[in-house]
Structure 1
Amino acid sequence: MKNRTDLAREITQSVALLYELARRVAVPDKPETAYSCYHFSSVYDGYSQEATLTNTTKKWHPFFRGDRPLTKRALGMLEAVPMWADARQVYHNGPAGLWRALWGTMGDLIACLRTHPNCTPQTSLHSVCGLVEMSVLCAGEGEIRLVDFVRAVALYRLRGEIEPEARIDGFGLNMTSCAWSLIQASLNECAVLGELDALRVREPIHRELAALESARVATDPRSIF
């Protein structure tokens, strides 16, 4: 039986996936169809070989509403539709790799950081972290994108895991706290918030991150400086 945390995460993954897939089949001159479960169901039914239409049974409605997470069978049904063939991959990785950054392993975090466009196989991890920081710190208004936010989350988690007490030059600001400031800066950007809102996951992401930071500060109150 799933615990409450795992269930909440799977519901977040499910909602984000369905809204992402719905955006792909939206009617260009009818933007509201990007958020319509009815339109989504109609598109699915057009490719399905099932005798009963899901638009009639409202099969996808509970998943869109976040009442329960998608099942393995439901994921298989979605990836059978040609334009949704990567549904399972998107479900597990998240938008721009957000689930890997938020919940993944150490390897996932490093892989997220190494998606920076200026990173090469020869770039050291230390240098990669600097590139990620500069992408946010040096960004102009409106220049921070979802992928920058995702890399900031990965950096925050990585530092919290391997060097929670490390400080700049050994005595300056706490480095994990600096990564947290990158997350805050990203969440002040309309482009980032707009993307999270479009996928209906702004609130759960805020909660997850706030819980992580609260736990970190409770462990070491001085780490916020």
Structure 2
Amino acid sequence: MARPARSDSEKKRGGMRAAALLHALARHVGAENPYQFATRFDARMNSTTHTSGKWRLNFAGSQALSINQLKLLSQFDARANLLHVRGPADLWIALWGDAHDLWQLCRSRLCHMGPSLDDRIWLEVAGEFTDEKAFDVTLADFEGEVLLAEAYQALLPLRYLSEAVALHRLFQTLNTLALLSFDGAGTYRCVRICLDNANVAAELSHHGILESVRDELAVIVTRPEAAVPAEQRWEALRPRLDWIG
């Protein structure tokens, strides 16, 4: 039976997954373009992909990886499947994953510094945090951290964007199910501030997905809530964060 045709959104997402994965693998082996990556791939895998331009369209995000390509990349680097599914800093889960998986992405539920920690360090220390915060407290703490980063023009890791998107989606999901007693409007602004952060933009660019991620998040960052002044959000958070003077 033939595979059902992919929708335009599925094709776009497949291209984003391909571009991010190949850029990550290329950086890992010191390759700066598709040809250099193919040369290093061929040397290790005893193949001739550099003569056929096998990876060029995938690098550009114009074409999703085929099952066979992904299998080859998994043989080349054992992390390939995981990176393809989860994306850089778990961004694909935050953007498109099941809502049930979003809370686990939010490191701020355990530690306000969680999103800033390297993944290897987080794996070592995450188990030490036993007091999980409620969703509304986590949301306020995270927005406070983003507001501070904005005020001091701090460089944020890409994981801040993943967490901002995850918290936004969680709030939207909960808000459709029940009346909430706390303000989640700041989630729009958090996504915008994280997306506009110089380091986040650089990381997305290094993965070849900056413009496509901007397109994906345009529906959030162009909302009026995303453009409210920082002072307005500080005032909204004042009753919820005791460290605000």
Measured against the shorter chain, the TM-score band is: 0.7 to 0.9
CA RMSD of aligned residues (A): 2.6
- Residue 166 of structure 2 aligns with an amino acid whose one-letter code is A
1:115/1:45 CA distance change after superposition, 3 Å = farther
The Cα shift of 1:144 comes to 1.8
Which of 7, 12, 23 is the equivalent residue of 1:3?
A: 7
Q: Where does 1:38-187 land on structure 2 (aligned, <5 Å)?
A: 38-50=35-47, 53-81=48-76, 84-114=77-107, 118=111, 120-126=129-135, 127-139=137-149, 140-163=152-175, 174-175=183-184, 177-187=185-195
Offset, 1:132: 2.5
CA shift in 2, pair 1:222/1:90, >3 Å = closer
Q: 1:3 to 1:44 in 2, by over 3 A?
A: same
User: What corresponds to 1:29 in structure 2?
Assistant: none
Distance 1:161 1:224, change over 3 A: farther
1:203 and 2:211 equivalent?
yes
By how many angstroms is 1:67 displaced?
2.6
Shift of 1:99: 0.4
**Take 1:60 and 1:115, find their aligned partners in 2: how far apart are those partners?**
37
Q: Secondary structure at the match of 1:194?
A: helix
Cα displacement (A) at 1:44: 0.5
Equivalent position amino acid for 2:138 in 1: V
Partner Cα separation in structure 2 for residue 149 and residue 223 of structure 1: 14
Aligned partners of 1:114 and 1:128 also within 8 Å: no
Partner-residue secondary structure (3-state), 2:196:
coil
Question: CA contact under 8 A between 1:135 and 1:148: conserved in structure 2?
Answer: no
Q: Does 1:22 align with 2:26?
A: yes
The residue that corresponds to 1:193 in the other structure is 201
Q: Relative to 1, partners in 2 of residues 1:67 and 1:222: Cα closer, same or farther, differing over 3 Å?
A: closer
- Cα distance per residue 1:144-179 (max 9 Å; x no partner): 221111101111111111126967x55xxx41x211
**TM-score for the superposition, normalised by structure 2:** 0.74
CA distance in structure 2 between the partners assigned to 1:117 and 1:80 by the alignment: 35
- Tell me: CA distance 1:150–1:202, structure 2 relative to 1, closer, same or farther (3 Å): same
